[in-house]
Structure 1
Amino acid sequence: MRTHLAVVGLGYIGLPLSLALCERGETVIGVDIDQRKVDELRAGITHVMEPYRGEPLEILLRRHLASGRFSVTTSLSEAAKLASVFLVTVGLPVAGDVVDKSPLLACARDLATVLSPGDLVLIRSTLVPGMMEQDIVPVLASGSGLVPGKDFQVAYAPERVAEGRAMEEFQTLDVVVSGLTDACCQRAMDVLGRLTDGQLHKTSLRVAELSKVVENAQRDVNIALAHELKLVAEQHGVDVYELIRMANTHPRVQLLEPNLGVGGFCIPNAYAYLAASISSEELIPLFSLARQINLTAPHRAARQLDEALRQAGKRLSGARVAVIGLGMKDGSNDIRQSPAVHFAEILAERGATVTAFDPTVEPYFPFQAPSLEDCLADADAVAVAAWQAEFDAAPWPALLEGARQPLVVLDLKRRLVQRLQAADWQIRGDTHLPYVAISARRLQASHDCAMEMVP
């Protein structure tokens, strides 16, 4: 009897999903075509940052490998010997605004060859709405020689977790579930009901596909609104974070705070998925505009840094800029479409000498420094792009001893500035420019947004 669950695709979603299922008492076989990743996972090594109940994901991985609840393979046929349920998390890459369906469809073709009567294929990837009926179901049918909905079951339940909280949210969030038939949907609900304590919401395939894309697109729009509010606040000479805090005291207002941009896989790709499913992109101009606002946010930050350097008597071209953090958001080592990486590349294109440090991101970019100290040495400017836990305990005043004065700081959420204040540095700066500051041991620039830092 095949009692395992198979999770196909072991990335930022698939691996936490696998281990969340193990935490719920399931026996899981993970499948990935990347032999190096599979070898690392078998050795108990993962680069996915996903804490759970005070432990890193790697500890859970090793525990469930040792217990036999989790195993890993590159072979779907091997998985099919143990599992009759296949949860697929293979994503759809986007280049520009063009969605590449080929990785998921290739997975569906390979999966079709190992299906047996009574199996369940449960797709959890974010899709271009319409793909289940137009692409995936036909591929599974033709490759297996079986009748979907009769000989085997097909369902769709998009994941909606946030990286960094996936282990918890897989087990607590409500899930939207759909199936090719009522029986398909019920089978999927039976499986997912063993994973989550949240409610299961039954709907049609098309609504389920659209709901996930709309959830992500809505966040894209909300983040774009935050970036626009930052510009409005600057025009009025007020602190944008104070503005947002006051507006959010209304029970029906939930504004987000601006940051360097939007990264990762889900939110930046939502517009492309939605646009690919309709007859004309002109039908959704709001989503298109929000995408452009968020995509250009790192460019706006670079211009602001350039202006601040000019006010300090320097120029971006030729300046040494230290970029702190490279993950796509705070606390993440995911660099897919990371605005921090984009920002660093823009600075380099404008002639700056960029050094960047992120303790969670393996050496990959030519501008990465081996340590925070090396990153900050001789810097004309420091840009806080993504905050990691290691930065909390860093001796910032001592580290900035080697920076060039006056020092320009781009710190959108004031994390670095607050730590310098806590170290009794005297800081002076415009309240409506919390994200740009100029520091000096001695007052060297008499400008409105100057900061004089004296230990």
Structure 2
Amino acid sequence: MEINTVGVVGLGYIGLPTAAILASKDVKVTGMDVNPATVEAVNRGDVPFVEPDLATYVSGAVQLGTLQATATPAPADAFIIAVPTPFRGNHEPDLSYIRAAAEAVAPQLNGGELVVLESTSPPGATQQMADWILAARPDLSLDGSDGRSVIHVAHCPERVLPGRVMIELVTNDRIVGGLTPAAAQHAKELYSVFCQGQILLTDAVTAEMAKLVENSFRDVNIAFANELSLIADRLKIDVWELIELANHHPRVNILRPGPGVGGHCIAVDPWFIVDAAPEQARLIRAAREVNDSKPEWVVDKVIEAVAGIENPTVVALGLSFKKDIDDLRESPARTIVAEVADRLPDGQIQVVEPHVDGLPPELANRRNVGLRNLDEALGAADVVVVLVDHGAFDQIRAADLGDVALIDTRGIGW
């Protein structure tokens, strides 16, 4: 299958890097996004979020004419769907973005195209996407039955780390699962354009589960570390020393605890497994509950630290879900800051987040929450709570804090 043109639906943290790296390989790429600001930024050669090296790829591809952005899909040989897959309030998967993307792409198909779902998805989502396409286009099929034209549908979950996306898109192994063997093979050919890692073929449901299992494995191990931090606090033990000592065992590698778990993947994906097999996924559910409860424990620590202080000032260091990025999705720091603001209506919560220019909506309109620079915030602090271990905070020394109470959820080690 010859693929000369690709449409990428969703120009977010995965879609735009994928579009840019394909375009850098002389593939003509049209990116589609419902956000006009994103479309305008890409067409100027700019990027709407922070990711090392991405701006160079985008600006170069736009100048060469191999990348453009639009508000609606255009015809292409292959389509990559990279839209959000959140969950609803009851932890059920929300596939509405995938459905909207499928129905937007359907009119552009003539038969013979490849459609790849790259969004992290619950088991069966790729088949569901295909069903939505075929419902809109009954003249098409997955197997050519009744003389209808064939489309090839596959799942290829992203496996990259924010901050290293442009490297790991190329170097990481990829899993490709097709609804048919032919679809898997065509998807492998597409990703072979830029992927230097091994491309492993399977069926679509196994590919969907593989990504969920990878992130659930991480979540369970983080939950163990977070639960250790609660136990160590109860027993008056330094959890960082405890973990360092335990990790000297040759077969022990305990992760570092934190204020919770954030990001669109690890904080979300395990719930897809729980939803698919609720009676069997007991450990996965328990890990999610441990990690989801950690922010409330941090809030309680902050409230304890300001007890007896009139109109206290709490400085929250970091708001993103991990260090040195601007991605605030599912960040436990956001939850903590909002809850502290609710419980200290007469206090001031000063947020230091060097990677963003403004607070998210749920914080921006609060009279007692503000975004400050580091020196200004520390000078007014009664309590400092480390929520993200950004490199920008490495300059701080414990002596700089004086008598200010410190709640260090990251083991930053000043």
Is the shorter-chain TM-score for this pair beyond 0.5, marking a shared fold? Answer: yes
Give the equivalent residue in structure 2 for 1:452: none
Structure 1 residue 25: Cα displacement = 4.4
Mapped to 2, the partners of 1:60 and 1:226 lie a distance apart of 38
1:359 matched to 2:360: no
Give the equivalent residue in structure 1 for 2:105: 111
What SS does the aligned partner of 1:211 have?
helix
* 2:296 alignment partner, one of 292, 295, 299: 299
Q: Percent identity?
A: 33
Give the superposed CA RMSD.
2.2
1:327 matched to 2:317: no
Aligned residues: 397
Alignment of 1:10-89 (within 5 A): 10-52=11-53, 57-76=54-73, 79-80=74-75, 83-89=76-82
Amino acid at match of 2:82: T
Question: Structure 1 residues 31, 374: closer, same or farther in 2, change over 3 A?
Answer: same
* 2:124 alignment partner, one of 119, 123, 130: 130
Q: Deviations over 1:419-446 (max 9, x none)?
A: xxxxxxxxxxxxxxxxxxxxxxxxxxxx
Structure 1 residue 69: Cα displacement = 2.5
1:212 matched to 2:211: yes
Give the equivalent residue in structure 2 for 1:440: none
Give the equivalent residue in structure 2 for 1:286: 283
Give the equivalent residue in structure 1 for 2:147: none
Mapped to 2, the partners of 1:91 and 1:33 lie a distance apart of 12
Question: Structure 1 residues 199, 32: closer, same or farther in 2, change over 3 A?
Answer: same
Alignment of 1:240-259 (within 5 A): 240-259=239-258
Amino acid at match of 2:23: C
- Uncovered stretches (5+) of structure 1, i.e. residues with no partner: 419-455
Mapped to 1, the partners of 2:8 and 2:116 lie a distance apart of 10
What SS does the aligned partner of 1:292 have?
helix
Q: Which moved more, 1:235-244 or 1:109-118?
A: 235-244
Give the equivalent residue in structure 2 for 1:429: none
Mapped to 2, the partners of 1:413 and 1:213 lie a distance apart of 25
Question: Structure 1 residues 321, 370: closer, same or farther in 2, change over 3 A?
Answer: closer
Amino acid at match of 2:353: D
Mapped to 1, the partners of 2:300 and 2:396 lie a distance apart of 28
Q: Which moved more, 1:89-98 or 1:4-13?
A: 89-98
Q: Deviations over 1:52-88 (max 9, x none)?
A: 3xxxx22332222112222111121xx31xx201111
Q: Which moved more, 1:247-256 or 1:319-328?
A: 247-256
Mapped to 1, the partners of 2:14 and 2:191 lie a distance apart of 15
What SS does the aligned partner of 2:405 have?
strand
Give the equivalent residue in structure 2 for 1:380: 382
Structure 1 residue 46: Cα displacement = 2.1
What SS does the aligned partner of 2:311 have?
coil
Amino acid at match of 1:98: E
What SS does the aligned partner of 1:30 have?
strand
Amino acid at match of 1:363: G
Mapped to 2, the partners of 1:287 and 1:414 lie a distance apart of 25
Give the equivalent residue in structure 2 for 1:91: 84
What SS does the aligned partner of 1:171 have?
helix
* TM-score relative to the length of structure 2: 0.89
Amino acid at match of 1:241: W
Q: Which moved more, 1:182-191 or 1:344-353?
A: 344-353
Mapped to 2, the partners of 1:128 and 1:292 lie a distance apart of 19
Question: Structure 1 residues 93, 414: closer, same or farther in 2, change over 3 A?
Answer: closer
Amino acid at match of 2:135: S
Task: Kindly indicate whether the alpha-carbon contact (under 8 Å) linking 2:21 and 2:57 is maintained by their aligned counterparts in 1.
Answer: no
Structure 1 residue 2: Cα displacement = 6.9
Question: Structure 1 residues 73, 264: closer, same or farther in 2, change over 3 A?
Answer: same
Alignment of 1:359-438 (within 5 A): 359-364=354-359, 365-366=363-364, 367-393=369-395, 406-415=403-412, 418=414
Q: Deviations over 1:259-314 (max 9, x none)?
A: 11111111111132123323xx232221111111111111111222333444xxx3
Q: Which moved more, 1:252-261 or 1:232-241?
A: 232-241
Amino acid at match of 1:384: V
Q: Deviations over 1:337-371 (max 9, x none)?
A: 11111111111121142111212123133323242
Structure 1 residue 5: Cα displacement = 1.9
Give the equivalent residue in structure 1 for 2:261: 262
What SS does the aligned partner of 1:129 have?
coil
Question: Structure 1 residues 393, 240: closer, same or farther in 2, change over 3 A?
Answer: closer
* TM-score relative to the length of structure 1: 0.81
Amino acid at match of 1:382: V
Structure 1 residue 237: Cα displacement = 4.2
Amino acid at match of 2:358: P
Question: Structure 1 residues 65, 390: closer, same or farther in 2, change over 3 A?
Answer: farther
Task: Kindly indicate whether the alpha-carbon contact (under 8 Å) linking 2:120 and 2:158 is maintained by their aligned counterparts in 1.
Answer: yes
Q: Which moved more, 1:119-128 or 1:34-43?
A: 34-43
Task: Kindly indicate whether the alpha-carbon contact (under 8 Å) linking 1:140 and 1:148 is maintained by their aligned counterparts in 2.
Answer: no
Give the equivalent residue in structure 2 for 1:336: 329
Mapped to 2, the partners of 1:19 and 1:408 lie a distance apart of 46
Mark the structure with the bigger radius of gyration.
Answer: 1
Q: Deviations over 1:367-405 (max 9, x none)?
A: 23242233334211111111334334579977x5xxxx7
Q: Deviations over 1:318-351 (max 9, x none)?
A: 3210111111111121111111111111111211
